C-alpha cells in the first residue's frame, strides 16, 4: 500500500465539509494523536458513525470520500444503524467507487484524475488493471446503479441526494 496519496491535511480548510454538506454528513476532524472513532480499517482510515465522518490530518482523501460515499449510497435503514461497518453489496461498492471519483472532481484541492491515481496507489484493484480503465471502460453498471437510486441524474452528475431505498 503506497502512502503517497493526498491527505485531508493537504485540502483547503473546510473543503471536505463544504462538499459533503448537501448530504447532511458532518465531518469531524480528530488530531493525529487520537484514534479515529468508527474506522473499520483502523487509523488513519476514515470512520463513520451515524451521519458523522471522522478524519485526521493524515487520513487519505480517498478514504474520506470512500466512506462518505458509502453513507450516501446505503439505504436509509442501514444509515440509521450505521456504526463503523458500512456494509453493502457488490453493486453498491462499485457505485461508491464511481461516486467518489465524481465527487473528487468537485472537491477543492483534489481532482478525479488524482483520485483514480490515489485509489491505485492505495491498493484498489479492478479487473482492467487500473481505476482509470475501470472508470472509463467498465463502470457502466456502477453508473446505472447510481442513476437507478437517484444519486446521479440522467446526465451522470451528482444529484446531491441520499439513497432512500
Q: Which pLDDT tens digit goes with each residue over 91-150? A: 999 999 999 999 999 999 999 999 999 999 988 877 778 999 999 999 999 999 999 999
Structure-block grid coordinates of residue 29: 476532524
CB 88 within 8 Å of CB 135: no
The domain spans of the chain are: 8-81, 90-148
Structure-block grid coordinates of residue 158: 451528482
**What's the chain's average pLDDT?**
94
Collapse the DSSP code of 152 into the 3-class scheme (helix H, G, I; strand E, B; otherwise coil) and give the result.
Answer: strand
pLDDT for 1 beyond 70: no
User: How far apart (Å, rounded) are the C-alpha atoms in residues 79 and 57?
Assistant: 25
Taking the model in full, what pTM does it have? Answer: 0.95
Amino acid at each position: 500500500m503506497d502512502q503517497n496519496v493526498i491527505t485531508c491535511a493537504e485540502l483547503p480548510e473546510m473543503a471536505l465539509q463544504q462538499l459533503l454538506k448537501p448530504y447532511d454528513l458532518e465531518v469531524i476532524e480528530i488530531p493525529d494523536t487520537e484514534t479515529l472513532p468508527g474506522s473499520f480499517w483502523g487509523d488513519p482510515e476514515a470512520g463513520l458513525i451515524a451521519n458523522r465522518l471522522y478524519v485526521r490530518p493524515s487520513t487519505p482523501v480517498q478514504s474520506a470520500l470512500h466512506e462518505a460515499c458509502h453513507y450516501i449510497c446505503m439505504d436509509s435503514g442501514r444509515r440509521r444503524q450505521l456504526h463503523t461497518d458500512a456494509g453493502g453489496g457488490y453493486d453498491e461498492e462499485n457505485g461508491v467507487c464511481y461516486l467518489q471519483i465524481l465527487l473528487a472532481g468537485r472537491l477543492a484541492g483534489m481532482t478525479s484524475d488524482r483520485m483514480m491515481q490515489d485509489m491505485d496507489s492505495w491498493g484498489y484493484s479492478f479487473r482492467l488493471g487500473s481505476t482509470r480503465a475501470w472508470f472509463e471502460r467498465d463502470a457502466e453498471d456502477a453508473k446505472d446503479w447510481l442513476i437507478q437510486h437517484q444519486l446521479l441524474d440522467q446526465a451522470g452528475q451528482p444529484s446531491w441526494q441520499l439513497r432512500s431505498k
